[in-house]
Structure 1
Amino acid sequence: MNKLPHIGSSIFTVMSKMATEYNAINLSQGFPNFPVDGRLTDIVAKLTKEEVHQYAPMSGYPTLLSKIGQLVKDAYKRTLQDDTEILVTAGATQGIFTSILALIEKEEEVIILDPSYDSYEAPVLLSKAKPIRVALNDDYTPNWERIENACTSKTKMIVINNPHNPTGKILTKSDFESLEILLEKYPDIILLSDEVYEYITFEKKHISAHTREKLLNRTIVASSFGKSFHVTGWKVGYIVAPEHLMHQIKKVHQFLVYSVTSISQMAISRYLDIVSVEDIGKMYQEKRDYFRSLLKDSRFKLMPCEGTYFQVVSYASISEEDDVDFCKRLIIEHGVAAIPISTFYADKTDHKLIRFCFAKDNTTLEEAAKRLCAI
């Protein structure tokens, strides 16, 4: 039996493997290559000698749950019940997967906005439900009329990603107002808001679903310490949801992973006492601006980047190849790995756009840009 017959290795796996084979600079997969904050590694070093090596509580360590509640309150003015509305997950992807598996039933429909992260569709299919892929506008803003036309009596969930991977777009106040009007017409639809890049925004500040009073009783928000604190390998995230939804999500979570790595949870809990999330966006804005300055004289056209640590560029003036073939040639002939945007679409829409990750040290960005400017 093949439950996911059309799904093979992800494009991230393919491109990273090719980058290794050809000794290319890997700007494809979204992970930093610069050192973790020394204060955090110092905390970990001390924790290795403490009694924190056994199972953590299923929902998360109470101290970390309390710190998450304070983080959300400080950032978004939302007050949470730590024990019933917060769940620490093995990365945001596990939180998203678990939420969909817990709440979506056979033959129900889930609207996913393309281009979209590839982990949204799989749990829908495994639930024997139907993913409804709705394309964003060409400028990557939501087409609310198109989204509403896709809603039916079977629609159970809408998934949004804000700030958006791969495009770096941020939803506006007007977008949320349109979303609220739509959801008023469909009171049974749940909103799943993937906000893993919430602290990596630039000129425009991120508007979170946490701040939308009308949405709180029907929304799951997914966040990622791995993204925020540059420790993607730790796979620690969290979700926030109203108690009636979280109760169902925890039923699945306890059998899927039970609890998340104990030492990582305790380290992040202590780190939250000394770190400011306000500094994260500033650091990445400097990297974005530097990477863009390095590419300004290249033949690539830089697209807007409002958030995330990804820069989308057009190669239309360089080649007529499809984006997958262009990315493969970019690795083989020029030694730089990127991600083709068409792979984020159900119908493989190809606008001659590719995505670079600029969460790298300056030396890496400089060498990559040197190779790209030579094309």
Structure 2
Amino acid sequence: MATIEIHSAQKRYPGNVLALKGIDLTIQDGELLVLVGPSGCGKSTLLRMIAGLETISDGTIALDGKVVNDVEPADRDIAMVFQNYALYPHMSVYGNLEYGLKNRGTPRAERETRIAEAARVLELEPYLHRKPAALSGGQRQRVAMGRAIVRKPRAFLFDEPLSNLDAKLRGHMRVEIRRLQKALGATSVYVTHDQLEAMTLADRLVVMNAGRIEQVGTPYELYARPQTTFVARFIGSPGMNLVATDDLRGSSALLSPALPVRGGMIGFRPEDLSLQPIENPAISLTGRIEGVEVLGAESLLYVNGGPQIGTLIARVPGAYRSGAPLAEITLSAPMEAVHLYDATERRIN
């Protein structure tokens, strides 16, 4: 497998449009790194640059210390798995798995060995003689993965491979991809816009925004200590509640004297808002319930805190049944749960 090093990488399109703006990133040998962010943030462009499908405008991309800026995609020894499977419809599963190996001149005995192993790992053995049209979406995605695995590449690149599947199957395939990646010890870069998918798959997460990297870290690090308000809003379902301190000071909320007075933002996760009184809260405010989402084991309360604060989301255990819509409740958050950001929207605590 490979270590991938990206230094000062930029992608410039005609009209001096910068899609990527100085990306510095190292992907360690054997790790599963996930690129996540909203549509248009540059994550797929970066993946395609690693693959060689997009040229790099400035900076370098290196595999195991060798710069590959001018190396053709076929010579980078990287396998890519796409969201549309890209299977040959007229070929059987076996034929799809074998095609790339035949083109590379792999001896027949070795082809058979590699295909048998991939089929075993991916549980495709009963389907080797079927055509793609006779397979489910999940089975087709496994064939697409198998076609990459039989090549034994230096790295795997996944471009939103589960986006065409339904929610239940996506959950199952996330587990399969994670299991497979660990079993192979494969260096992998995975692109998704789904932050739940990113959180459950990644060894490390890269949150991107407008062509830049906002933050890199483990899923827990990004959830527990988001370094910018963008990451705070993006990571978490739902994201963090954020309110300008100036708006809070002008509202009826009760604030701890320890909180900053001017120019910043205060954040708190939905699960850190309590409906019960707590001792020495960082913030306490009264609002009206505008809506409730009962999710089974928990409920989300949408609470209007007034014109300065707007709508906050509280996550509470169980099915919330007390109180009708527009019922008034008091929410509190402890000091240890509060996240503070300055006027530039960067973390200060």
TM-score (norm 2): 0.29
Larger-Rg structure: 2
TM-score (norm 1): 0.27
